[in-house]
């Protein structure tokens, strides 16, 4: 399995994630007591059902976070993809990021 380094989230990512969540019709419930792990689990559960609706956007977004283009990301081994998703869930400030997305 390849090791990936994920860049920090930035302002432009808010707009990309907003488009993805809108396309998936997903709303994430975040409050002051929500932990990053809870946000990640909640998001994955809600996204899984409609993920096919935003396949290209998700591949592009997650790929960009680890410096891989969307087509290459789509063809990664599942173990690599799951590692990248884990890195995303562990992003510092994820709850604040998702709060900004849903605002």
Rounded Cα gap, residues 75 and 41, in angstroms: 24
Across the chain, what does the average pLDDT equal?
A: 88
Q: What is the average pLDDT across 5-15?
A: 96
Domain boundaries, the chain: 11-102
pTM comes to 0.79
Give pLDDT, residue 38: 80
Residues 6+ apart with CB under 8 A from 37: 89
Give pLDDT, residue 40: 74
Rounded Cα gap, residues 24 and 9, in angstroms: 20
- pLDDT, tens digit, 9 for 90 and up, residues 56-103: 999 999 999 999 999 999 999 999 999 999 999 899 988 888 788 875
- Choose among 57, 74, 79: nearest CA to 13: 57
């Amino acid at each position: 399995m390849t090791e990936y380094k994920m860049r920090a989230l930035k302002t432009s990512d808010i707009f990309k994630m907003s488009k993805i969540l809108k396309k998936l019709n997903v709303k994430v419930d975040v409050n002051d007591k929500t932990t990053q792990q809870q946000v990640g689990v909640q998001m994955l559960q809600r996204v899984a059902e409609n993920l096919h609706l935003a396949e290209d956007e998700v591949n592009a977004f997650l790929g960009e976070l680890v410096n891989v283009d969307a087509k290459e990301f789509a063809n990664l081994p599942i173990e690599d993809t799951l590692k990248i998703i884990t890195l995303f869930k562990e992003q510092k400030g994820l709850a604040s990021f998702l709060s900004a997305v849903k605002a």
